[in-house]
C-alpha cells in the first residue's frame, strides 16, 4: 500500500504537538479455545473475526484485513505458524549458547527454553505480547486480542488497522518519490516521539525502517513490528546480537562479534536511514550483496545530494558512524531542523514518556494466565466425550478439577 501524505499542518498532524489527555490502559484479550470456520464464500473466520483478504506478508506469516462481525470494525490480523515460531525459538536458543546467551525479547533464556518446549501456544508470542501490553502511545500500534485455535497451526494477533499502509515503499532497484521537507519533518517527529517513548520504557525497537512505520486512516504514523525489539535492563541499553534489516543497520552492528553496543544509538542510526529515505526516496547504501552492503555502511561516503542547511546538518549528525558522538534523542529534540528554526513546538519529553513499569516475570505469566484453565476445559471436555455415557455432572466436575491440577503442576514445571 502506498500513500499520499497530508500537508504538515493538517489537523491530523497535531498529535506531535499536543498532549493527549490521560491514556487508557492497554487491554489485550487472550482467547484460547478459538474456533476456525469457513463461510459460504470460502472466507475464513476465527471466532468473530472474518478474514476478508491478505494485506501483506511478514517474516513470520500473513497479515489479513479482518472484520469483527459484532462491531463491524476493521483490524489487521497477523497470522503466525506455531510450528515455525517453535522452530525459531529453538534456533534462537541454540544460537544464544545457553544460559549466558542474550535475553530474547525480554524473555530470559530459561523462559525461552520453556517457550520452545511448552505446549502452551501463547508462550510463543508472549514476549511481543508483553511488550505491546505495556505500551500505550499514539505512535505505537495497538494490539487488541490474541487468539489460538488449538486444533490448527495458526496463532492470531489482532492489531489496529493502519489503512494507509507503509510510510514509503523502498525498493533496492527503484527510487520512490521523496517527501517534501515539511512532510518528512512531520513524520520524522511522530516516529521520534514513538521511539523516545519506547526508549524511556527501556525498549529498543531494533528494526526501524519505513516498512515498520504505518499510517492510519487519519494519516498518523505508528510504529509496528516488535518481532525483534528487546527490553533491556534498566539503565543499560547494550545489545549483543545484530538484528534488523541490513540496509538500516548501524555500522557498529556490521561487524562479526561486535560485542555490546548501545541499542538506543543503533535505533537513532536507523531513524537517520529512514529520514534519508523520506527525503531521497532510497537508502544511502544500496547493494544486493550483504557483505558489500556491510562494508558500505561502515566506510562508503554518503551522498547528501543537493541537501543543505539544517536538513544536511541533521542527516550528518544522525548518520554519524561513531555511536558516541551520534546525535542523541535529547539533542534531536532541539535540532533546528526538528524545531523548524524554533517555529514549531513539540510535546515535552516528560509528557510524551509516561513511563510504564517494567514487564515483570509475573506479568509475563499473567499475560496468558487464562491458558491453563482453558486447556483444562478442553481436556476435560474431550475426556467427557470419551466417557459421556457413564458420567454424571458431579463426576465431570471432579474430572475438571483433576485436569486443572495436572495442568497447574505441568505449568510450574515448564516455567523454570
Ligand atoms: O506487505 P506490505 O509491505 O504491503 O504494511 C504491512 C506490510 O505490508 C502490513 O502487513 C505487511 C507485513 O508487515 N501490516 C502490518 N501491520 C499492519 C497493520 N496494523 C499492516 N497493515 C495494516 N495495519
The stretch 100-125 carries a mean pLDDT of 52
Which atom of ligand 1 is the closest one to the Cα of 165?
5
78 annotated as ligand-binding: yes
pLDDT of residue 235: 59
Is residue 136 located within the same domain as residue 65?
A: yes
Q: What is the pTM of this model?
A: 0.75
The three cell numbers locating residue 285: 547504501
Give the domain-ending residue among 101, 135, 161: 161
pLDDT-wise least confident of 71-75, 116-120, 136-140: 116-120
Beta bridge partner(s), residue 54 = 64
Ligand 1 center to residue 184 CA distance, Å? 21
Ligand 1 center to residue 159 CA distance, Å? 10
Is residue 86 located within the same domain as residue 59?
A: yes
Which atom of ligand 1 is the closest one to the Cα of 161?
23
Ligand 1 center to residue 244 CA distance, Å? 17
The stretch 243-269 carries a mean pLDDT of 88
Give the domain-ending residue among 127, 161, 195: 161
Give the domain-ending residue among 140, 161, 182: 161
CA–CA dist 393, 172 (Å, integer): 64
Q: Residue 82: which residues within 8 A CB-CB, separation 6 or more? A: 121, 124, 148, 153, 154, 155
12 located within any domain? no
CB 3 within 8 Å of CB 167: yes
Question: Which residues are near ligand 1 (CB < 6 Å)?
Answer: 1, 55-58, 63, 76, 141, 159-162, 165-166, 211, 214, 224
CA–CA dist 155, 22 (Å, integer): 32
Highest averaged pLDDT of the listed ranges 9-13, 114-118, 236-240, 300-304:
300-304
Q: Which residue lies with its CA nearest to atom 16 of ligand 1?
A: 76
CB 314 within 8 Å of CB 335: yes
Ligand 1 center to residue 246 CA distance, Å? 19
Whether the per-residue pLDDT at 265 is higher than 50: the answer is yes
Largest Cα separation within the chain, whole Å, is 84
CA–CA dist 114, 368 (Å, integer): 14
Q: Which of 92, 148, 149, 207 is catalytic?
A: 207
Whether the per-residue pLDDT at 49 is higher than 90: the answer is yes
Is residue 303 located within the same domain as residue 328?
A: yes
Is residue 239 located within the same domain as residue 316?
A: yes
Crossing angle for the helix pair 309-318 and 263-280, to the nearest 10 degrees = 140
3, 56, 61, 245, best to mutate for ligand 1 pocket (most atoms within 8 Å of CB): 56
Is residue 335 located within the same domain as residue 372?
A: no
What is the extent of the structural domain holding 123? 23-161
CA–CA dist 257, 324 (Å, integer): 19
Q: What is the pLDDT of residues 160-209, one digit of tens each?
A: 999 999 999 998 888 999 999 999 999 999 999 999 999 998 888 988 99
6 located within any domain? no
Check if 207 is active-site.
Answer: yes
Is residue 237 located within the same domain as residue 332?
A: yes
> What is the tally of structural domains in the chain?
3
Q: Which residue in 141, 180, 194 sits closest to 347, CA to CA?
A: 194
Is residue 120 located within the same domain as residue 150?
A: yes
CA 393 to chain centre: 45
- β-pair type (61-68, 49-58): antiparallel
Is residue 202 located within the same domain as residue 89?
A: no
What's the pLDDT band for 58 if we cut at 50, 70, 90?
confident
404 compared with 342, residue with greater pLDDT: 342
SS3 144: strand
Q: Which residue in 298, 375, 331, 379 sits closest to 121, CA to CA?
A: 375
CB 162 within 8 Å of CB 215: yes
Is residue 168 located within the same domain as residue 300?
A: yes
Is residue 203 located within the same domain as residue 300?
A: yes
Q: What is the pLDDT of residues 365-393, one digit of tens each?
A: 555 444 344 444 444 444 444 444 334 44
Is residue 144 located within the same domain as residue 174?
A: no
Is residue 238 located within the same domain as residue 295?
A: yes
7 located within any domain? no
Let me know if 302 is exposed, middle or buried by CB neighbors in 10 A (0-12, 13-18, 19+). middle
Q: Which residue lies with its CA nearest to atom 22 of ligand 1?
A: 162
pLDDT of residue 104: 35
The CA-based angle 141-187-247, given to 5 degrees, is 85
155 located within any domain? yes
Amino acid at each position: 500500500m502506498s500513500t499520499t501524505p497530508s500537508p504538515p499542518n493538517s489537523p491530523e498532524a497535531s498529535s506531535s504537538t499536543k498532549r493527549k489527555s490521560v491514556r487508557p490502559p492497554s487491554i489485550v484479550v487472550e482467547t484460547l479455545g478459538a474456533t476456525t470456520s469457513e463461510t459460504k464464500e470460502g472466507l475464513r473466520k476465527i471466532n468473530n473475526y472474518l478474514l476478508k483478504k491478505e494485506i501483506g506478508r511478514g517474516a513470520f506469516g500473513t497479515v489479513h484485513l479482518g472484520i469483527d462481525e459484532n462491531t463491524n470494525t476493521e483490524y489487521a490480523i497477523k497470522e503466525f505458524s506455531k510450528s515455525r515460531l517453535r522452530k525459531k525459538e529453538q534456533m534462537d536458543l541454540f544460537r544464544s549458547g545457553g544460559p549466558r546467551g542474550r535475553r530474547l525479547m525480554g524473555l530470559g533464556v530459561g523462559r525461552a527454553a520453556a517457550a520452545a518446549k511448552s505446549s502452551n501456544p501463547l508462550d510463543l508470542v508472549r514476549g511481543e505480547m508483553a511488550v505491546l501490553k505495556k505500551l500505550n502511545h499514539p505512535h505505537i500500534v495497538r494490539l487488541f486480542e490474541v487468539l489460538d485455535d488449538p486444533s490448527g497451526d495458526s496463532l492470531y494477533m489482532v492489531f489496529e488497522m493502519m489503512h494507509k499502509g507503509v510510510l514509503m515503499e523502498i525498493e533496492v532497484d527503484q527510487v520512490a518519490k521523496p517527501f517534501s521537507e515539511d512532510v518528512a519533518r512531520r513524520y520524522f517527529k511522530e516516529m521520534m516521539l514513538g521511539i523516545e517513548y519506547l526508549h524511556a520504557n527501556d525498549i529498543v525497537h531494533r528494526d526501524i525502517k519505513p516498512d515498520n512505520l504505518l499510517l492510519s486512516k487519519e494519516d498518523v504514523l505508528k510504529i509496528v513490528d516488535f518481532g525483534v525489539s528487546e527490553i533491556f535492563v534498566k539503565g543499560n541499553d547494550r545489545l549483543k546480537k545484530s538484528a534488523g534489516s541490513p540496509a538500516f543497520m548501524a555500522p557498529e552492528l556490521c561487524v562479526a562479534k561486535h560485542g555490546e553496543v548501545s541499542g538506543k544509538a543503533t535505533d537513532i542510526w536507523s531513524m537517520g536511514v529512514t529520514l534519508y529515505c523520506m527525503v531521497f526516496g532510497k537508502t544511502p547504501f544500496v547493494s544486493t550483496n550483504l557483505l558489500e552492503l556491510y562494508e558500505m555502511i561502515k566506510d562508503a561516503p554518503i551522498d547528501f545530494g543537493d541537501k543543505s542547511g539544517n536538513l544536511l546538518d541533521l542527516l550528518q549528525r544522525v548518520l554519524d558512524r561513531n555511536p558516541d558522538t551520534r546525535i542523541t534523542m535529547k539533542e534531536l529534540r532541539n535540532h533546528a531542523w526538528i524545531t523548524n528554526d524554533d517555529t514549531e513546538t513539540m510535546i515535552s519529553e516528560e509528557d510524551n514518556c509516561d513511563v510504564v513499569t517494567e514487564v515483570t516475570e509475573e506479568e509475563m505469566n499473567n499475560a496468558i494466565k487464562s491458558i491453563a484453565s482453558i486447556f483444562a476445559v478442553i481436556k476435560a471436555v474431550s475426556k467427557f466425550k470419551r466417557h459421556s455415557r457413564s458420567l454424571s455432572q458431579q463426576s465431570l466436575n471432579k474430572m475438571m478439577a483433576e485436569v486443572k491440577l495436572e495442568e497447574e503442576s505441568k505449568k510450574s514445571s515448564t516455567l523454570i
